[in-house]
Structure 1
Amino acid sequence: MSLQRTISENVKIAIHALYDATLESVELQATRKEFEGDITVVVFPMLRVVKGNPVQIGEAVGKYLSENITEVEDYNVVKGFLNLVISDTYYLDFFTSIKDNERFGFADSLKDNKAVMVEYSSPNTNKPLHLGHIRNILLGYSVAEIIKASGKKVYKTQIINDRGIHICKSMVAWNKFGEGETPESTGLKGDKLVGNYYVKFDQVYKEQIAGLIEDGLSEEDAKKEAPILIEAQEMLRKWESGDTEVVKLWKMMNGWVYDGFDKTYNALGVDFDSYYYESNTYLLGKDNIEEGLSRGVFFKKEDGSIWCDLTEDGLDEKLVLRSDGTAVYMTQDIGTAIQRVKDNPDIGGMIYTVGNEQDYHFKVLFLILKKLGYEWAKNLHHLSYGMVDLPSGKMKSREGTVVDADDLIDEMTRTAEEISQDLGKLEGYTKEEKAGVYNKIGLGALKYYILKVDPKKRILFNPEESVDFQGNTGPFIQYTYARIQAILRKADFSKSEPISSVKLHQKEKELIKHLELYPEIIQNAASELSPALIANYTYDLVKNYNSFFQNVSIFGADSEEEKQFRVQLSGSVGNTIKSAFSLLGINVPERM
């Protein structure tokens, strides 16, 4: 039983014993720094069941707790707040239990360990990954790792949007203007090469529209009749009918893109357990629609189209199958969700990492799946997130104004190198060692800057600000970790010997109390799907550690036992930083 729960239960017992009253709940909070104590019992809510002076009630309850709970060493009452002083022994015992535990904070597998599938990335195969994808990927990967740490089984997946008119646009442009060039002949990553032709298509399309308007067509008609668009539409029809040459071209160019994506994923340090391809899933869902129609979940209109009436649920009527029998995106998403559970029968829920512009789509999808009677549908979540902006403004793929993910990773590494060189922190390192550190700092800065923000909020991303070695940044936390490793290397004694009798400095106690929060933070971050809780917990831990480091001498301690304890405490803080950053997908350098 946790200390907080022990205190709460004993407060209830005290109120019953002292006042013959029943207390339903107990409000606890951390003691404010200006008062002596560690945990505060708020007395005011007790006045609902106990009549009297809150100070006198607090004194009576404090006396009872100090006599009946060994962990409560002393107490004081300030107005309606009972401040409890917890014994050093309790904190030392807790610290001893975690100091050599590499999995501290991580929960064991749950008994009812239904798996959770987390979908993220899910790009189109007509362009490289960009800054917007990076937020998606980092969020999805981190949430998957956090849920895993909370004790659940996790499958990481993505659906690759590898079909449709947008794919054919790149294919048409390559056919017309590519002159047979390949990633090998150009030295370009495959996704970048294909993305160049997507931009080329848009340039030619706009030129043709302008020409048709000059010839007297309206803008609306010109957009429909531009020859290059008609070619792309014809290519899509050929692809859908299985035309050999078109399918061959499609496979070749998609293969270039997949190879390029893999290189970016490796650079970001993320992975997937499975892949779904829209070219395989776009026909899924039709049978489910027919079944739902027979059960009255859907209804058919006079033109033969099939709809779901969600007006009683505060939404609208939603088309799920066109009058010609062709599917819409909703049809496909219904079928894909059902297929995923067929492929992995232990799935008990799914999380879709998709931008907030799709909020309504997922409300409808989840509601339809519930109406179809799937038990797991109650555990579907949309990890909705805001867009990422740059100081220069919004990004547009068609116009080639996006910030390419690979270029951003390179820029972050270069920025880390420039700042590190200015600070002169890597003297004596080999060129390869420096490159490794620059990469960890640059990627750490990028990931932390994005993940420290609540997913729902929009981000204005500033690369230079993110690599600052001061403040709430990845490099600041990485630097503290590296400082701790230097302390551990300097220590010339056993770091595992148990310590049981030191008198704790207030800064030491504050650090241990902060470490004690880590398991709960992981559970909260998992339930709220928010890596920001992990990021900001880690920043607060580092601030506490730096305050300890500045106020308490480690190697100048009064006794050998105190010195050993402070080194061990530093080590546990370092392990927790490393553990928390691993949940964010961030590596920590041993030296900086």
Structure 2
Amino acid sequence: MDFIVKGTLEAVKALYDAELKESDINLQETRKEFEGETTIVTFPLTRISKKSPEQTGNEIGAYLLENLPQVSAFNVIKGFLNISLSSAYLLDLFRKTILSPEFGDLPSNGKKVMIEYSSPNTNKPLHLGHVRNNLLGFSVSEIMAASGYEVIKANLVNDRGIHICKSMLAWQKFGNGETPESTGLKGDKLVGNYYVKFDQEYKKQIDELKAAGQNEDEAKKNAELIKEAQLMLRKWEAGDEEVINLWKTMNSWVYAGFDVTYKSLGVEFDQYYYESDTYLLGKDIIDEGLEKNVFFKKEDNSVWIDLTADGLDEKLVLRGDGTSVYITQDLGTAQLKYDNFQMDESIYVVGNEQDYHFKVLFLILDKLGKSWAKGLYHLSYGMVDLPSGKMKSREGTVVDADDLIQEMVDTARQRTEELGKVDGFSEEEKTALYRMIGLGALKYFLLKVEPKKRLLFDPNESIDFQGHTGPFIQYTHARICSVLMRADVAAPAFDGIADLSVVQRELILAISKYPAVVTAAAAEFSPALIANYAFDIAKLYNKFYHEEPILKEENADLRQIRLALSSATASVLKRSMKLLGIDVPQRM
């Protein structure tokens, strides 16, 4: 509403001979209980007018009504000046902006961003926590691309370390040579089973040592299994051929399994990084930091950084024996990513348990003088809980991503058939629809909540055709498509429309906000803004659908404007849901 802001500045100049900036004008959406579409808060302007908020509002409102053709009326409630927009302006907005083929297409901003998400470990299948990570990373990528960025979707795979060796060792000891082919299991699930098996056998050995008189800590260190796993890790790092070959074989099983899950979720990547390639990176950066006196050495030759002045603590960046710690590797990988792509921004989609780690990482890179460090951002998200409680992967109690997807599809099938929404569908069409609804419910439920918030995921609650859910929006889109398929849609004759109803005005204004919502969602890395916008549009359309006849309207001009509004609504719903990675059906 730039014209309202500019008109208000002109009013203040004309009425009170004062100069203000655009940022001085507080514009809000008019509250539902009052007439109007946009509201000017007049309290801050009383210092200039030297009059009451009400009188100030009436004077500015009268000026706008007289000087702005877009304004049709105003009312003042205490310190709030509510502005009603003319039907002519809204029809013009609909005709020239919303119905334009370019509506919603934002120009390139010339910036490049890398978004790193997923980052799985190759010792277990993807679970519910990974699902939120992947959906969040993919959606933010789509939103930023839509807002004008060039986007690189990256995946840093954690494919080395003691946890990987645990699965390898357990398979060696207890696997009897079984493979994904021989068992019929996805490779990631097969390997994950041996991670759980390691933990079970390890606990048995700990209990035996404790029974023999050792305390908990001693037993954990002295158990034969953990010693063997540590030896295997040392052999891996030394390049032992047998260990490396086993590692490659089991990782290949896991990657094949991951690919199936990624495809099911509808996520993808442009660039993969592997910890086995990057874990030695960062040592040059440590040397650079020592030269710049950013780091310091202790007597045992370990390298540290003192961040106490920044409200943090001292942080180890290299062990005394010269081996890397996580921060060493992450420093090197950050430099590698920038060297590869020279992006303006780099976003890490990682759970909030790593908040401190990323605060330290970004601060170190900034102190090292890396010009690109200011563009680093940790998109921290909360954990996902289930009604049954928290998940623990080493105990085998996680909710497997593939099982969850199948449960969602099965639930969608049951609900849809109960409501009789698939009459006349072929079996193939039904299968596709159930999958679309099930995945739509899952994705929407996880994305409608602000990323930082922890959430409780209830599969049953997520599939509701009347609630704040993905299926409600999908059903609304299908409803619109049904209307349009039964109509002879033509370009509306705007000259024949003198006025707009309240719900039409609301719908036009809401649809017109789509580009601004995309821009805001990109700036805040928040798919929740898109999700809630789509829900508001769907609710508004259903109100419009129930209040105003469309196909039964006898006046051709009115029927065509309502059809055009329906078509524009379907388009913005489809685009919004696509940014969430959700497909919408043509019929259901």
TM above 0.5:
yes
Identity of aligned residues (%): 60
**In the alignment, is residue 536 of structure 1 matched against residue 535 of structure 2?**
no
User: What is residue 57 of structure 1 aligned with on the other side?
Assistant: 56
Q: TM-score normalized by structure 2? A: 0.97
Q: Does 1:317 align with 2:311?
A: no
- Report SS of the residue matched to 1:49: helix
AA of the residue aligned to 1:180: G
Query: Would you say 1:591 and 2:561 are equivalent positions?
Result: no
Write out per-residue CA displacement over residues 120-144 of structure 1, whole angstroms, 9 at most, x where no aligned residue. Answer: 0000000000001001111111111
* Partner residue, 1:410: 406
Residue of structure 2 equivalent to 1:288: 285
Question: Post-superposition shift, 1:251?
Answer: 0.3
1:128 corresponds to which residue?
Answer: 125
1:96 is aligned to 95
Q: Does structure 1 retain, via aligned residues, the 8 Å contact 2:98–2:511?
A: no
- Residues 12-91 of structure 1 aligned to structure 2 (within 5 Å): 12-24=9-21, 25-91=24-90
Partner in structure 2 of residue 342 of structure 1 = 339
Where 2:299 maps in the other structure, the secondary structure is coil
SS at match of 2:393: coil
Residue number in structure 2 paired with 1:578: 574
CA spacing shift, 1:178–1:101, aligned 2, 3 Å? farther
- 2:443 aligns to what? 447
Question: How far, CA to CA, are the matches of 1:101 and 1:291 in structure 2?
Answer: 54
In structure 2, C-alpha distance between the alignment counterparts of 1:126 and 1:85, rounded to whole Å? 60
Structure 2 unaligned segments of length 5 or more: list them.
none
Deviation per CA, 1:24-57, whole angstroms, max 9, x where unpaired? 4112222233333222222221111111243333
- Find the residue that maps to 1:76 and give its secondary structure: strand
Q: Which deviates further from its counterpart, 197-206 or 74-83?
A: 74-83
In 1, Cα distance between the equivalents of 2:76 and 2:389?
Answer: 55
Q: CA deviation at 1:538?
A: 0.9
Given residue 193 of structure 2, which amino acid in structure 1 is its aligned partner? N
1:244–1:199: structure 2 CA closer, same or farther, 3 Å change rule? Answer: same
Residue in 2 that maps onto 1:9: 6
2:466 aligned counterpart, secondary structure:
coil
The 1-side partners of 2:68 and 2:214 are apart by: 86
- For residues 157-196 of structure 1, the aligned pairs below 5 Å read 157-196=154-193
CA deviations over 1:304-344 (Å, ceiling 9, x no partner) = 11111111111111111111111110011011001001111
Q: Is the 8 A contact 2:16 2:48 kept in 1?
A: no
CA distances 1:336-371 after superposition (whole Å, capped 9, x unpaired): 0010011112x0111111111110000000000101
Is the contact made by 1:96 and 1:498 (CA closer than 8 Å) also made in structure 2? no
Q: Deviations over 1:35-90 (max 9, x none)?
A: 33222222221111111243333333222222222211233333333222211121
- Report whether the alignment pairs 1:226 with 2:187: no
Change (3 A) 1:443 1:360: same
* Residues 536-560 of structure 1 deviation map (CA, whole Å, 9 limit, x = unaligned): 1111111111111111111232510
Residue equivalent to 2:516: 520
Structure 1 spans left out of the alignment, 5+ residues:
none
Partner residue of 2:208? 211
Match of 1:360, as an amino acid?
Y
* Structure 2 Cα separation of the partners of residues 378 and 6 of structure 1: 35
Q: Distance in 2 between matches of 1:515 and 1:35?
A: 21
Deviation at 1:98, TM superposition (A): 4.0
Q: Pick from 488, 506, 515: which aligns with 1:510?
A: 506
Residues 209 and 87 of structure 1, relative CA distance in 2, 3 Å threshold: same
Cα distance 1:223–1:148, how it changes in 2: closer, same or farther (>3 A)?
same
C-alpha displacement at 1:520, in angstroms?
A: 1.3
For residues 397 and 225 of structure 1, the distance between their equivalents in structure 2, rounded to whole angstroms, comes to: 23
Contact 2:155/2:272 (CA < 8 Å) preserved in 1? yes
Provide closer, same or farther for how the CA distance between residues 533 and 34 of structure 1 changes in structure 2, counting only shifts above 3 A: same
Decide whether aligned partners of structure 1 residues 136 and 498 sit closer, same or farther in structure 2, where only a CA change above 3 A counts.
farther
Relative to structure 1, the CA distance from residue 551 to residue 304 in structure 2 (aligned partners, 3 Å threshold; closer, same or farther) is same
CA RMSD after TM alignment: 1.4
Tell me which amino acid in the other structure corresponds to 1:438. Y
Distance 1:463 1:20, change over 3 A: same
Count of aligned pairs: 585
- Residue identity in the other structure for 1:15: V
How far residue 102 of structure 1 moved from its aligned partner, in angstroms, is: 5.9
Matched, 1:273 2:277: no
After superposition, residues 385-400 of structure 1 pair within 5 angstroms as 385-400=381-396
In structure 2, what is the equivalent of residue 244 of structure 1? 241
- What amino acid maps onto 2:436 in structure 1? K
The aligned residue for residue 431 of structure 2 is 435
The CA deviation string for residues 135-194 of structure 1, in whole angstroms up to 9 with x for no partner, is 111111111111111111111101100001110111111111111111111111110111
CA contact 2:98–2:512 (8 Å) conserved in 1? no
One-letter code aligned to 2:313: D
Note if contact 1:191-1:260 (Cα within 8 Å) is conserved in structure 2. Answer: yes
Cα distance between partner residues in 2 of 1:85 and 1:196: 64
In 2, the alpha carbon distance for the partners of 1:578 and 1:138 equals 17
Q: Give 1:289's aligned amino acid.
A: I
| 2:115 pairs with one of 104, 115, 118 | 118
Distance 2:142 2:198 in 1: 39
In structure 1, the partner of 2:348 is 352
State the match for 2:146 in structure 1: 149
Q: Are the counterparts in 2 of residues 31 and 40 from structure 1 also a CA contact under 8 Å? A: yes
1:563 aligned to 541, 559, 566, which one? 559
Distance in 2 between residues matched to 1:511 and 1:23, nearest whole Å: 32
Match in the other structure for 1:327: 324
Describe the SS at the equivalent of 1:250: helix
Query: CA 1:280–1:299 in structure 2 vs 1: closer, same or farther (change >3 Å)?
Result: same
Q: Which residue of 1 aligns with 2:257?
A: 260
Amino acid aligned to 1:59: N
Q: 1:146 to 1:95 in 2, by over 3 A?
A: same
Residue matched to 1:548: 544
